[in-house]
Amino acid sequence: MNICVIGTGYVGLVTGACFAELGHNVWCVDIDEEKVEALNKGIIPIYEPDLDKLVKTNFVAGRLSFTTSISEALTDSLFVFIAVATPPGEDGSADLSQVLGVAREIGKSMNEYKIIVDKSTVPVGTAKRVKEIIKEVIVERSADLEFDVVSNPEFLKEGAAIEDFMHPDRIVVGVDNQKSAELMRELYQPLIQKGYQLITIDVLSAEMTKYAANAMLATRISFMNEIARICDAAGADVEMVRRGIGSDTRIGPKFLQAGIGYGGSCFPKDVKALIQTAAELGVEPKILEAVETVNNKQKTRLVEMITDRFGKNLAGLVFAVWGLAFKPCTDDMREAPSIEIINNLRNRGAYIQVHDPVAMSTAKALLGDESIIYLNDKYDALQNAVALLVVTEWGEYREPDYETLRNKLNDPIVFDGRNIYDPMTMKQQSFEYYAIGRNGTSIQEMEESN
């Protein structure tokens, strides 16, 4: 089948490459000329595991093409995916200008029946607005063209995006008629055949499903961060509590890690947008507001711990930071906790030495170079530092060479924002160790004694 994906960012590029891999012919469109030129030369603009291989194979096979022209991509495509960004507006609601602008462009370029697929995360009711805009433009053109608009929210996780697309927990499709339901099933047939579940629901519910999913995940994170604060105050250990509750099948073990809050391009903006949607609909979103408040506070938890240890004035002190991306396996730094932590420490007069396996150039563009040194070797970042801060739980930070860590740091002090180390090991290795909601109990040791 012929597909066109408008917006070639994290979601659009992954969607396009994966559909091509499933055997469809895909046009990826972007207004960013440099990005399209780079993609046509085989340069992948983002870091996502295995994406470069997938893009190159399908590009060479002729199933994946890149262009800046919507009309070129649209002509032969039955499916037109909208995968542009929906950033937060000033009041926190989703800014739909890119989505609605693309809807106009589709209306201008359409030549025959199309099925327009909202893949961007958009507030409930947006498919209806997209439909109205396209209709308006078609009427302006005095044309007589049929089309359907469906909602197909994306649930991929950055860092595991291809895996998630190719092995989805579920595919959600929101439709308002039988024809589009059948066409969407046909499109996803290669995955359905492998046993993956496609859930067909109404359009409004599909739009809500995406926000409800992200809000639920964000809620679990803020919930555990609040529990971690209570653990800290009470002397309990949040990792023990996590094991205790995660084994309950009604709760499940995932998304229960305490840490320094959620970031990224989705949870913060989607929680904000859902709060706005609720308010517009006259519903008071008390839980969602609390989720956001707890998260904002948690992002500075490490700084709180540092100022408790070193005092509020950090002038002249050097801190090493491991991890900049909002989570491992991505170079995405949108709303990453590292930004707030680093800026807060710099404002207190500290110098920062940072390392991240893939997000350093994104970080340089965002944070500049005032009071920051970027180092390609994680151990070099420790030189002359009074403490190490673990901000992103990259795999390569989990098993450090403890001797090098101790010797390179001025003082063997570690603030672990992701609870990746065993407190007992850190004690045995003579580190002064601070983590989130932990009381020093060793999980390893407890397991051995059980």
Q: Which residues are catalytic?
A: 266
Q: Which residues bind ligand NAD (CB under 6 A)?
A: 6-12, 29-32, 35, 83-86, 98, 101-102, 120-121, 154, 156, 158, 265-266
Contact (CB, 8 A) for 162 and 115: no
Q: Which is nearer to ligand NAD, 255 or 310 (CB)?
A: 255
Q: Which is nearer to ligand NAD, 58 or 126 (CB)?
A: 126
What is the token pair recorded at 335?
A: 């709303």
Residue with nearest beta carbon to ligand NAD: 9
State the minimum distance, in angstroms, from the CB of residue 122 to ligand NAD: 7
State the minimum distance, in angstroms, from the CB of residue 324 to ligand NAD: 17
State the minimum distance, in angstroms, from the CB of residue 257 to ligand NAD: 19
Q: Which is nearer to ligand NAD, 156 or 228 (CB)?
A: 156
What is the token pair recorded at 22?
A: 């499933």
State the minimum distance, in angstroms, from the CB of residue 334 to ligand NAD: 8
Distance, CA of 71 to CA of 77 (rounded, Å): 10
State the minimum distance, in angstroms, from the CB of residue 210 to ligand NAD: 7
Q: Which is nearer to ligand NAD, 30 or 237 (CB)?
A: 30
Q: Which is nearer to ligand NAD, 45 or 190 (CB)?
A: 45
